[in-house]
Amino acid sequence: GSAMAAVRDVEIDPEGTFKYILVRLQRPGGQEQRDIVRGTKAAEFHNHIFEKVNPEMEKLGYECKCLGGGKIDHNSKDKKIKVFGLSTGYGKADHSVTVEILKKVYTDYEITWSDDKK
């Protein structure tokens, strides 16, 4: 599916610490699926991110499922990203999966994760 390829793997703020969610996209009744990362300081709660992503993806014909959340600390100056924390509502995303997705986009970054809350 070229439409699925058109969906960006990662959309996160260029700088700062903010909430993020890991979202699974799937074609209804289809086998094709992929996971994407979305995060922004504009979201006070994790569900605010999902509520924005979900309708966008439904328009493209995908079902969305939130696999969990956490926080991202994006330091663009030092080219470092830290993934940590969890979402109260969605539970903790598998940060190791998130890191692999981030690495596809931020190829020259040092990207790490931990289960710490801060």
Tokens of 101: 């997705």
* 19 annotated binding-site participant: yes
46 noted as active-site residue: yes
Pairing between β-strand 33-40 and β-strand 10-12 as defined by DSSP bridges: parallel
The catalytic residue among 46, 48, 74, 95 is: 46
Q: Is 112 left (phi over 0), alpha (psi -120 to 50) or beta?
A: beta
Binding-site residue positions: 19
Binding-site residue positions for substrate: 19
What residues are annotated to the active site? 46
